[in-house]
């Protein structure tokens, strides 16, 4: 594995850790504000966080360089960011609405984490329509990951309730987001793409907030901690890491790496008082094994053994 692939995998792994913990923040935030309010504010915070990063890292180094032109997004970056933002709005809205509908007795973070991570199956299936080949090691990784996440998150049988359906639709939308990022990430500046998608997603969420919700300032302030976590880390950092990581990573392998968020969601839940059973620990092990196996090239291994 080359250095770029290792770096890309590390970016995606860190993103999955942040997203896993974010399920707890998202669930907590729903105690105070609506889904569109939460997403609108967090996404705009994510965009604002990236502005100084763009100002620092996107300037030309030569003394007479056109700094303004380098900082401002190109037409391609505006188009790609807007498209990614629309898809991110759909996926994040569906996820947040689904989480808000779970009852207090349900493990919202764990169950939503499992269903959302089903994009690891949807991404390669959609890739087949684009005539993208999927290696045997990745299919083995997918099978292990799905079984592992079932063991980890579904402890009382699999049934689809209304919130489950919303989160399942979110998994489909996230699959398209992964493929959209895969299409544009190698062609544009990843940080500017990330900032634009947050701005578009945040503005669309705020429009829906004023139409469907009536947030109060006191409620927003009560949800300040989970909103800030989701805005600065889950949005500003993790989604940017996704874009940077996917530049050098196959989208199917990327989806498996990002599916580790379900493991980290369970671990974070345990840190806040939830206990991991033996079944759930086995699920964690299977998902980690799936990630490792998906990185292997069975063809090269078999050739070495034959020689």
pLDDT tens string 193-219 = 989 999 999 999 999 999 999 889 999
Question: Cα separation of 297 and 153, whole Å?
Answer: 29
Q: Give me the pLDDT at residue 64, please.
A: 42
pLDDT confidence tier of residue 85, bands split at 50, 70 and 90: very high
CB atoms closer than 10 angstroms to residue 222 = 15
Q: Give me the pLDDT at residue 6, please.
A: 84
In terms of Cα–Cα distance, which of 221, 222, 239 is closest to 230?
A: 239
Q: What Rg value do the Cα atoms of the chain yield, rounded?
A: 19
- Backbone φ and ψ for 74, nearest 5 degrees, come out as -80, 170
Phi-psi group of 278: left, alpha or beta (phi > 0 → left; psi -120 to 50 → alpha; rest → beta): alpha
pLDDT confidence tier of residue 84, bands split at 50, 70 and 90: very high
Tokens 């998994």 sit at which residue?
A: 171
Question: Cα separation of 132 and 163, whole Å?
Answer: 32
* Region 141-158 average pLDDT: 74
**Among 197-211, 213-227, 247-261, whose mean pLDDT is lowest?**
247-261
Q: Give me the pLDDT at residue 129, please.
A: 76
> What burial class does residue 67 get, using C-beta atoms within 10 Å of its C-beta: 0-12 exposed, 13-18 middle, 19+ buried?
middle
Question: Cα separation of 197 and 88, whole Å?
Answer: 7
The percent of residues above 70 in pLDDT, for the chain, comes to 82
pLDDT confidence tier of residue 276, bands split at 50, 70 and 90: low
Residues in the chain: 307
pLDDT confidence tier of residue 48, bands split at 50, 70 and 90: very high
The string of DSSP codes covering the chain is --HHHHHHHHHHHHHHHHHHHHHHHHHHHTTTS-HHHHHHHHHHHHHHHHHHHHHHHSS-SSTT--HHHHHSPPHHHHHHHHHHHHHHHHHHHHHHHHHHHS-TTS-HHHHHHHHHTTHHHHHHHHHHHTT----HHHHHHHHHHHHHHHHHH--S-----HHHHHHHHHHHHHHHHHHHHHHHGGGS-HHHHHHHHHHHHHHHHHHHHHHH----HHHHHHTHHHHHIIIIIIIIIIIHHHHHHHTTS-HHHHHHHHTTHHHHHHHHHHHTTPPPPHHHHHHHHHHHHHHHHHT--HHHHHHHHH-
- The answer to whether residue 61 scores a pLDDT higher than 50 is no
Q: What is the mean pLDDT of the chain?
A: 81
Q: Give me the pLDDT at residue 159, please.
A: 60
Select the more confidently predicted residue: 147 or 273. 147
Select the more confidently predicted residue: 209 or 106. 209
* Region 83-103 average pLDDT: 90
Q: Give me the pLDDT at residue 285, please.
A: 80
Question: Cα separation of 191 and 229, whole Å?
Answer: 19
pLDDT confidence tier of residue 62, bands split at 50, 70 and 90: very low
Residues 6+ away with beta carbon under 8 Å from 64: none
- The answer to whether residue 104 scores a pLDDT higher than 70 is no
* Region 225-249 average pLDDT: 86
The percent of residues above 90 in pLDDT, for the chain, comes to 26
Q: Give me the pLDDT at residue 107, please.
A: 58
Question: Cα separation of 104 and 54, whole Å?
Answer: 41
Q: Give me the pLDDT at residue 65, please.
A: 47
């Amino acid at each position: 594995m080359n250095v770029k692939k290792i770096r890309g995998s590390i970016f995606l792994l860190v993103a999955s850790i942040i997203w896993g913990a974010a399920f707890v923040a998202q669930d907590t935030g729903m105690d105070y504000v609506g889904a569109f309010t939460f997403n609108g504010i967090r996404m705009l915070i994510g965009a604002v966080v990236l502005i100084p990063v763009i100002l620092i890292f996107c300037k030309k180094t030569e003394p007479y360089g056109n700094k303004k032109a380098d900082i401002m997004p190109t037409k391609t970056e505006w188009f790609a960011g807007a498209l990614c933002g629309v898809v991110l709005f759909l996926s994040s809205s569906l996820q947040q609405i689904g989480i808000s509908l779970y009852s207090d007795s349900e493990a919202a973070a764990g169950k939503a984490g499992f269903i959302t991570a089903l994009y690891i199956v949807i991404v390669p299936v959609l890739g087949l329509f684009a005539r993208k080949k999927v290696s045997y090691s990745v299919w083995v990784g997918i099978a292990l990951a799905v079984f592992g996440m079932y063991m980890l998150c579904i402890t009382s049988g699999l049934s689809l309730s209304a919130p489950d359906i919303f989160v399942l639709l979110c998994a489909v939308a996230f699959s398209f987001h992964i493929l959209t990022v895969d299409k544009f990430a190698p062609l544009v500046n990843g940080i500017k793409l990330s900032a634009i998608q947050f701005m578009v997603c945040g503005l669309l969420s705020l429009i829906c907030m004023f139409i469907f919700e009536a947030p109060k300032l006191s409620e927003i302030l009560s949800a300040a901690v989970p909103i800030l976590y989701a805005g600065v880390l889950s949005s500003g950092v993790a989604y940017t890491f996704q874009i940077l990581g996917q530049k050098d990573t196959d989208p199917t392998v990327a989806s498996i790496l990002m599916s580790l968020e379900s493991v980290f969601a369970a671990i974070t839940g345990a840190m806040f008082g939830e206990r991991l059973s033996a079944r759930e620990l086995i699920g964690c092990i299977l998902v980690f094994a799936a990630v490792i196996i998906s990185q292997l090239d069975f063809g090269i291994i078999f050739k070495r053994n034959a020689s």
